[in-house]
Structure 1
Amino acid sequence: MTTYIARPIEPPVLKELRSADDAGREMVPVTDEEGGAPLRCCLRRSVPGERIALVSYAPLRRWAAETGADPGAYDEQGPVFIHAEECGGPALDGLPFTNAHRTLRRYSAEGRIVGGRLVENGFEAALVNAFDDPEVALVHVRAVEYGCFLYEVRRDQ
């Protein structure tokens, strides 16, 4: 049976992003007074008082560097929230941030977009449907309201 794994930003990449992000900018930590920021390091929302940072991240570019894919014009970077210091990573298994409208953007092994879908409800079924296409190598889950990258999903055999 195939399962799907939400992938946080990996610790070595987080270390790089805390030094200089994918746009070459230095990290600027802040104390989150309100909480609620979707953290890509541990796949949960921040709580008031945590030290976080908004950094630029290029998820497809980094995946392509691992796999040898060439995303061409699909390479993009955008803002993501992370803890300003090392954290323990995700505490729960499963798929986070699924209780709101989301966009699933599907990519081929070559790094090209092969489809997308707005998900209003039935997130897990939509994810299964995305991976029903054998051309799909990975799926990016994005927030609808700002289009921000939330996490990547790959098949786990």
Structure 2
Amino acid sequence: MQTATTAYPARPITPAALKELRERDDAGRPAAPFTDTEGGAPLRCCLRRSEPGERIALVSYAPLRRWASRTGATPGAYDEQGPVFIHAEDCPGPDGGGLPFTNAHRTVRRYSADGRILGGRLVEGNEGGAGDEGDPAAFEAAITEAFDDPAVALVHVRAVEYGCFLYEVRRDQP
């Protein structure tokens, strides 16, 4: 998997949130793990694609709601939840600190510190590329551009075709 080296690395779903999601997702449903026979599912726990034979789960996740609960933000109508793939059991997390899933068109949504959407940008990936290869530099530029606006506290990178959350990038990286 190709990733961009970046000042603003992708953040996977936190281990604490993953533990909760593996029991009950953000829609209140119990997780239903299954064996991925084909592979290729974008895993939000380790920010890579699944391999055939891995045990994964498709769960409902509300990333802005979880961020807001830690920061005191009130996202109101911008509080979305949607499907994400995660490993069914604990995993070691991402291998690196880059920007994954650059192989397709993505949206970079900008959010303020109070949880309101400030806009977004389409980033064109290399949809004909193999695996996760694309143009990581285009993603780095879009995220840098987002954080050039001092009102932007975090961004979500989402799939264009389904709107699914892929990962979060924060201004206040650890």
Q: TM-score, normalised by structure 1?
A: 0.96
Structure number with higher strand proportion? 1
Q: Which residue of 2 aligns with 1:113?
A: 117
Q: Any idea what SS the aligned residue of 1:9 has? A: coil
Q: Do residues 84 (structure 1) and 88 (structure 2) align?
A: yes
Q: Compute the displacement of 1:99 (Å).
A: 2.3
Structure 2 residue corresponding to 1:149, chosen from 165, 169, 172: 165
**1:93 Cα deviation from its structure 2 partner:** 1.9
Q: 5+ residue gaps in structure 2?
A: 1-5, 126-137
Counterparts of 1:44 and 1:116 in 2: how far apart (Å)? 24
Whether 1:24 aligns to 2:40 is no
Alignment-mate amino acid for residue 118 of structure 1: L
Q: Give SS of 1:26's match.
A: coil
Which structure 2 residues correspond to residues 67-146 of structure 1 after superposition, within 5 A? 67-121=71-125, 122-146=138-162
TM-score, normalising length from structure 2?
Answer: 0.87
Which 4+ stretches in 1 moved above 6 angstroms? Answer: none
Deviates more, 1:122-131 or 1:60-69: 122-131
Residue number in structure 1 paired with 2:13:
9
Look up the SS of the partner of 1:100 in the other structure. coil
Instruction: Give the counterpart of 1:57 among 52, 57, 61.
Output: 61
| Deviation digits for residues 39-86 of structure 1 (CA, Å, limit 9, x no counterpart) | 000000000000000000000000000000000010010000000011
Distance 1:32 1:110 in 2: 38
Question: How many Å separate the matches in 1 of 2:90 and 2:99?
Answer: 22
Match of 2:52 in 1: 48
Structure 1 residues 10-42: Cα deviation after superposition (integer angstroms, max 9, x where no partner):
111100001100000000001001100000000
Answer whether contact 2:156 2:166 (CA < 8 A) is retained: yes
| Structure 1 position 3, deviation (Å) | 1.4
Report deviation, 1:126. 1.1
Residues of 1 paired with 2:17 and 2:142: CA distance? 29
Equivalent-residue separation in structure 1 for 2:16 and 2:142 (angstroms): 31
Identity of aligned residues (%): 79
**CA offset at residue 98 of structure 1?**
1.4
